[in-house]
Structure 1
Amino acid sequence: MAQPSWKTLEEQVRGIATLVFGKDCEPGRIAGVNFDGVVHKSEYETVAIEISKQYDLDKVRQGIGRLGLARQSLIVDGVVLRGYIVLPKPPTQAMIDAAAAVKITVLSVGQLGTLFFHFPQYKEARLTSSFGSSIDPLSGAIDKTNYVPVAYTRLDGGKDVSVNEIADMLRAGQNVILLGEYGSGKSRCVRELFNLLSDGWAGTFRFPYAVNLRECWGLDRGEEIIRRGAYVLGKDDLAAAAVRANNRQSLILLLDGFDELGSQSWATDETRLRQLRARALRGVKDLVENTSAGCLIAGREHYFSSNEEMLTALGLKRNNTLIIKAKDEFTDEQLEAYFDAAGLAVELPSWLPRKPLICQTIALLSDDELGSMFGIASEGVEFWNHFIRVVCKRDARINAFFDEETIYRVFVALSRITRTRPSNIGPISQRDLQDAFEAVVGQLPVEEAAAMLQRLPSLGRIGAESQDRQFVDMFILDGLRAKDVAKLPDDDEAQRRRAISENWLNPLRALGQSILALDMSKRVDSFRQLASRAAAAKNATLAGDIVASLSRNALKPADLQGLTISGAFISQFVINDENVTNFTITDTTFEHLVLPNSPPNRVAIRSSMASRVSGAASFSGLPDWVQLDLVDDFDSVQTVAQIKKAGLSPSLEILVAILKKTFKQKGAGRKEEALLRGFGGGASKKIAGSILRLLIRENILSRHKGDEGWIYTPERSHFARVSEMLDQLRSSTDPLWLEAEQIRD
């Protein structure tokens, strides 16, 4: 349906009146008097409309007189006349009183429209309710952060589109499917479209109508979905008007979460699953097939097996449907805009994905949480533990049938399955999903469970026509694998035996190792025994994961009692000269081997290969205890990421944090309270004070009194020097760095 193109106020009013009264409104003549609009409702009822561009009481009184004459003429024939005077803006109380005295209604164009559908009332209620998953993921409160303009990818290969362009398409009656992975901002896009389409509704008489489909389980007819959209807002009185507006093609539909409508049973057969999804979406299909006013429907990409199935199940035709996809991550510019809108000045570490949901989670952190989660020594462990809770709690809110712990445990079970898959991230079959669920819950998935498994966050389709899934987010998968290993000492013996006898192909990466290192810090001996059993069985990669993670554990040394690992695949092995001792690794492939500054105690690596070695410039530079047959790349200088856990002293961690806050973040200066935030009290605070005094003495920072205490300002002439120290970190020889290293509590 094309957007109305009223050229005059009279045309606009007549068009609205046609919708309001359900009959054509045309210029007409009653008792010799010309009226701008006349509607013959029935043999016994007529509506007469006076339209005035003049906004004054005298003009209203003239209209009252004309309508009174017409009423007297028609009453003789037994016809009731309902009279309306329509003005360009809301009438004054004097105008209302003058018309009401003779039972005539005076109102504005917009007020006339509310007789058809009271959109202002609906809009107010809708904006105070959540749009899909656009909420605070922990509290459930509405997300009020300003929308950050992003571009959406057209799957037909065309130019990316903006949210304004999507709104124009919907106004023109086009249909749009918005796909995206979890946390990519689909619901936020729907909310922004609602705001854009709400503007000028009185001129177009087209109303955006936004429905969270997760609130529409079991509805088979489109009318029921429209009514449910009013009921959940507590606006039962608007339900009938909304249905009428939709029947007359005046609603632009914004339907969020097609993947949140579940089938009523479970199957591993692909044909049967398609039938179940189609049945779950019968109401949506009925609604969409009967609209020509423009419709956007959003959901997770991997819910359907193919785009053709998706179009059929949703009742859409390819020739009038544009399929677009929300980009998985923010660009640097969008990231900066998002944090500016949230009132934050934060620099994210390079290892952290730029997903909108991750950025939202960060924006909700306290200053102390930001300091502890993204300090220089952090490798993401604390943030990962927080974020996985956010993801599971968010999905539990979507589907109340499951608590966050069940979702988390299913995740962990699925991560185990990927350990033996050649592509690292999958594939995960429907049978795998069923088995993981059954192992956690103790029964086969039915009803809501089926829906949850079809839409688990961080999973995606492996191809356009495949029912199989795969992890699309290594940030989540790596941590889940670590949690799977961390629970093995607490599992029963049968589960442990099963794990150590598997032939894992895919090892933990740096983040997973760091997460496991923290989790096993108080049970080192249990994990040493587990590594020994795994090495003696088939699972050398499990043994390698444990040893590589122990090497990252700086709490206390671990004597591995002569452990030998053969035939493992280790992603990153950062060998510390103290943390792990007394072990041998042979016939193993390292993705990245990081050598220590001094030889570790009773450690040997023999007959192995490495894609990259840090800490040696060539084969001749390898220490005697390392014998490698093949190395693709040598790197004599360790990078920042490699040395974070390899030994920055507390004073250097604090120095780096202060330099980053003052030189690398936005703003001309920093309050002392902000600089010291996140260091805690006691010794750390004393060290921070000493570092600040050192930086002032060396003219790296200057300070002045502000309204709320000292303000510290960076001396920009030292920017290059500071940047070099932050790049080199432990390898820095800058005198300032060396002096800061000697500061103790």
Structure 2
Amino acid sequence: MSSMTGPQFEDEVRRIARARWSSAAFDGAAIVDGRERDGIFVTDEMVHAIECTVLRTKAKAEEDCKKLAKLVKSLRSQYATRGVKGWFVTADEPTADQREAARPFNPDVQACSFQQFCAPLVDYREYFSLRSKYRFGSASDPQTGSIDLSHEPYVAVDLFDINNSQRNSFFDLAQSMRNSATRTLLLGDFGAGKSMTLREIFTSASKGYEKREFARFPIHLNLREHQGQTSVQESLERHARSIGFPNPSQLVRAWRGGFADILLDGFDEIASSGWAGFNKKLKDIRYSNVALIRNFVRETPFNSSILIAGRRHYFDSMSELRASLGTGLQFKETAIAEFTAEQAAEFLSRRRLSGKIPDWLPSRPLLLSYLMSWNVLQDDLVQLAEAPGWDYLLHRICEREAQLDIGLDGSTIRELIERLATIARTTGDGLGPFTRDDLAQAFTQVCEYAPQLGSDIALLRLPGIGNPSADDGTRSFIDQDLADTARAGDVARFIIDPFDGSNSQVLTVQGGLGDIGAAVAALVLKDMDIRSGSLRTALEKVRTSALAENGCLGPDIFKVAQLMGTALDGQPVHISSAYCDEIQLSNDDPDMSSVLFRDCVIQSLTIESETSDKNIPTFKNCLIGFLQGRASAKDLPSDRFDGCAIEEYSAWASTTSGFMHLDVPPGLRVLLSILKKLFLQAGSGRQSSSLFRGIDQRARHYVPQVLQLLAFEGLANELNIAGKSIWVPIRKESSRARSILASPNTSTDVLVIKCKVLV
């Protein structure tokens, strides 16, 4: 408080006095006996006279206390039936000299600090004690589920302004709330650390207030606990009762007086008072859900800070978010960034772990914590397999969502996400969009009843699903790897029971399973001891179903069988009229000689070196866009390829690991790896992080340089989707990319020449 000028401090003391003695709300400074007094407040029982100062000198204290004692005596004669008390209020803790100056006039004059003067508004020590023992949003120990996080070290996350991408720190936000009245939106995807950040801000602010470094104390609300509420007063009173605070009215009074900062966690977690069977527009539902937040924004005094946190993709657009929350231009809009490499290392070291985090794992605190609780993060973290890791993470993420108390358990939420992943596979890029009707359909199929009260929250905040570009109420998956993990669910269920009509939608899918999805499905089926007979039955069901024509389910099952190591030999197995992004055949595959691909479209077929012709499937009347591993039709076994049209051949094929062992300059090795991932693997784009995978540590520093060259040469573009860097191939340059891959040693392409000389 010492940073205030004298007049500013007087105004602040009068503001608090009006909050303490509400019946004297219109009182304030006055002229008595010809002298200006800082404040006189008359209530039904007492008269309070105030002198306040920002100075710490003994002389000033003696002057004010004498003046105040004389005023108390004068007021007693004027208000004979009421008590009169004088308050000598100092900006900081009174010095020994200041207390000594007031002592001769005790009990008429009470010397106190500004914090002591404010204390009767609310018993902040008891509030802090009770609040710190209660849950902070979704923050909990990932291993035990305990809400006691006193032992959990916090690593400060970086924040960035979503309007200009300027990077800030957690400390900047905490400091701005301390020094001035700020209004902030804190946005982030699931697991980014929103609740932990708000908990840390609350803890920091409460300690600062107790040390008299902060003029306002924090009030933290879990919005999930205020379903259907619109009144700020009622929400504060419910919050007080929830934590066991005995004087709810104190919180209301402190808030109205501008003596408290408000932290609101989880705007995406408030359910509407009614679902109305999706008859209402989702936009209207969201607007109705957050009425309480609009009232907080509208009614909170402007000299208090407000911090509102929630999932970035809950709303269709930032304009809808601003209109629904009532934030407008006065709010600073920030988002939580993923951990940097240094922050991730600090996160692990504080938990006595070391090593490198797997490239496939998004660097979010929640996901790292989950893997720690699984006891899989050892010294060599990079060895953690991608498919079991994502399978476990999706399980834990869904269990966490179930804690919202919406009547759905974790396994149901996972199946709901998996069904939406199947619906998304009927779209162009396999990520969506899907409409509100799709959401309702998926919910009804999985739960066997229509969405009801509370279900809107489950559907509108599902992890990994948002609105990266649409402003029309549709949703899409925003995390490619999570989407691929979820795609495995319906495929595995179909293989287990292909005659279950509730899962028939998977027959219509158009985009194939990725490597992660196929591996997750293989894990699930191996755990259930599913064998060759079940796979054969599932493939036969696909062959005879009209729904599956031109679909991808047959090739999906083939890919899963490969990863399971389950041979499909013996009686012929037909995959007919299917579309397939990619088939890879290697010498490590089980015997697939009984499989016949008939009349299929296969974008890319790879036959790795040393693959035995006798174990590979037969291809009849298929259209194959690109065949790697054979130079021409003469290189193909005639009994395995019959009547096929093959547009392009490459004489050799390699994995990323193979590229890394080629006897070419390292920059060129990196180029070949990236071209393969962008142009030959399934999918419409690759996250920047995935382009580092499989490249040894010594060559990784070439990746950014190669990407710049790809963009300059017009082979790829970088997009920013949902805050993530995505590299998308320019498909018209496919022949150029494949030409480089086919003959890297002899190519005269300018891109090859530039990559050879990178240092």
User: Is the 2:187–2:336 contact (alpha carbons within 8 Å) kept by the matching residues of 1?
Assistant: yes
1:287 maps to a residue whose letter is F
The residue aligned with 1:184 is 192
2:216 maps to a residue whose letter is R
Q: 2:159 aligns with which of 151, 157, 173?
A: 151
* TM-superposed deviation, 1:107: 3.7
Matches within 5 A, 1:691-730: none
Work out the number of aligned pairs and report it.
630
Matched, 1:589 2:599: no
- State the SS of the aligned residue for 1:82: strand
CA distance in 2, matches of 1:174, 1:248: 16
Matches within 5 A, 1:431-446: 431-446=437-452
Matched, 1:230 2:229: no
2:357 maps to a residue whose letter is L
Matches within 5 A, 1:95-494: 102=107, 105-137=110-142, 139-143=145-149, 144-154=152-162, 156-157=163-164, 159-167=166-174, 170=177, 172-195=180-203, 197-198=205-206, 200-201=208-209, 202=212, 205-237=215-247, 239-266=248-275, 272-291=281-300, 292=302, 293-317=304-328, 319-327=329-337, 329-366=338-375, 369-370=376-377, 376=383, 379-491=385-497, 493-494=499-500
* TM-superposed deviation, 1:421: 1.7
User: Please, what TM-score do these two structures have when normalized by structure 2?
Assistant: 0.72
What are the superposed Cα offsets for residues 268-295 of structure 1, whole Å, 9 maximum, x if unpaired?
A: 7686333333222222212211232332
Q: 2:569 aligns with which of 559, 567, 570?
A: 559
CA distance in 1, matches of 2:582, 2:129: 53
CA distance in 1, matches of 2:77, 2:646: 109
CA distance in 1, matches of 2:186, 2:519: 36
CA distance in 2, matches of 1:315, 1:302: 17
Matched, 1:80 2:87: no
User: Is the 1:178–1:325 contact (alpha carbons within 8 Å) kept by the matching residues of 2?
Assistant: yes
- State the SS of the aligned residue for 1:141: coil
CA distance in 1, matches of 2:230, 2:579: 54
1:15 maps to a residue whose letter is E
Matches within 5 A, 1:621-632: 624=637, 629-631=646-648
Q: Which has the higher contact order (CA 8 A, sep 6+)?
A: 1
* TM-superposed deviation, 1:469: 0.6
The residue aligned with 1:48 is 49
* TM-superposed deviation, 1:51: 5.8
CA distance in 2, matches of 1:440, 1:504: 18
Worse-superposed segment, 186-195 or 544-553: 186-195
* TM-superposed deviation, 1:633: 6.7
* TM-superposed deviation, 1:257: 1.2
Distance 1:462 1:43, change over 3 A: closer
CA distance in 1, matches of 2:378, 2:612: 34
Worse-superposed segment, 81-90 or 511-520: 81-90
CA distance in 2, matches of 1:195, 1:621: 73
* TM-superposed deviation, 1:430: 0.7
The residue aligned with 2:542 is 534
User: Is the 2:230–2:291 contact (alpha carbons within 8 Å) kept by the matching residues of 1?
Assistant: yes
- State the SS of the aligned residue for 2:307: strand
CA distance in 2, matches of 1:357, 1:575: 37
What are the superposed Cα offsets for residues 438-492 of structure 1, whole Å, 9 maximum, x if unpaired?
A: 1122211111112211111111015342201111122222122212111224447
What are the superposed Cα offsets for residues 251-275 of structure 1, whole Å, 9 maximum, x if unpaired?
A: 3322111111112333576863333
* TM-superposed deviation, 1:409: 2.0
- State the SS of the aligned residue for 1:412: helix
* TM-superposed deviation, 1:19: 0.9
Distance 1:543 1:620, change over 3 A: closer
Matches within 5 A, 1:721-740: none
CA distance in 2, matches of 1:532, 1:259: 44
User: Is the 1:71–1:81 contact (alpha carbons within 8 Å) kept by the matching residues of 2?
Assistant: yes
1:542 maps to a residue whose letter is L
Distance 1:489 1:40, change over 3 A: same
What are the superposed Cα offsets for residues 181-209 of structure 1, whole Å, 9 maximum, x if unpaired?
A: 22222223323443454565445523333
C-alpha RMSD over aligned residues: 4.1
* TM-superposed deviation, 1:375: 7.5
Matches within 5 A, 1:541-580: 541-554=552-565, 557-559=567-569, 561-566=571-576, 567-571=578-582, 573=584, 575-580=586-591
User: Is the 2:444–2:450 contact (alpha carbons within 8 Å) kept by the matching residues of 1?
Assistant: yes
- State the SS of the aligned residue for 1:40: strand
CA distance in 2, matches of 1:372, 1:574: 34
- State the SS of the aligned residue for 1:20: helix
Distance 1:617 1:111, change over 3 A: farther
* TM-superposed deviation, 1:13: 6.6
2:592 maps to a residue whose letter is T
User: Is the 2:161–2:332 contact (alpha carbons within 8 Å) kept by the matching residues of 1?
Assistant: no
CA distance in 2, matches of 1:53, 1:496: 74
Distance 1:54 1:428, change over 3 A: closer
User: Is the 1:260–1:451 contact (alpha carbons within 8 Å) kept by the matching residues of 2?
Assistant: yes
Worse-superposed segment, 183-192 or 215-224: 183-192
CA distance in 1, matches of 2:148, 2:613: 53
- State the SS of the aligned residue for 2:275: coil
CA distance in 2, matches of 1:497, 1:392: 20
The residue aligned with 2:711 is none
Distance 1:497 1:26, change over 3 A: closer
CA distance in 1, matches of 2:442, 2:502: 16
The residue aligned with 1:735 is none
The residue aligned with 1:715 is none
What are the superposed Cα offsets for residues 76-108 of structure 1, whole Å, 9 maximum, x if unpaired?
A: 43142123454643799xx89989984765543
Distance 1:56 1:295, change over 3 A: closer
User: Is the 1:163–1:192 contact (alpha carbons within 8 Å) kept by the matching residues of 2?
Assistant: no
Distance 1:497 1:482, change over 3 A: closer
User: Is the 2:237–2:252 contact (alpha carbons within 8 Å) kept by the matching residues of 1?
Assistant: yes
* TM-superposed deviation, 1:416: 1.9
Distance 1:548 1:641, change over 3 A: farther
Matched, 1:599 2:602: no
User: Is the 1:90–1:111 contact (alpha carbons within 8 Å) kept by the matching residues of 2?
Assistant: no
CA distance in 1, matches of 2:559, 2:380: 22
Stretches of structure 2 lacking an aligned partner (at least 5 in a row): 20-24, 661-695, 698-759
* TM-superposed deviation, 1:321: 2.8
* TM-superposed deviation, 1:415: 1.9
* TM-superposed deviation, 1:169: 5.6
User: Is the 2:283–2:473 contact (alpha carbons within 8 Å) kept by the matching residues of 1?
Assistant: no
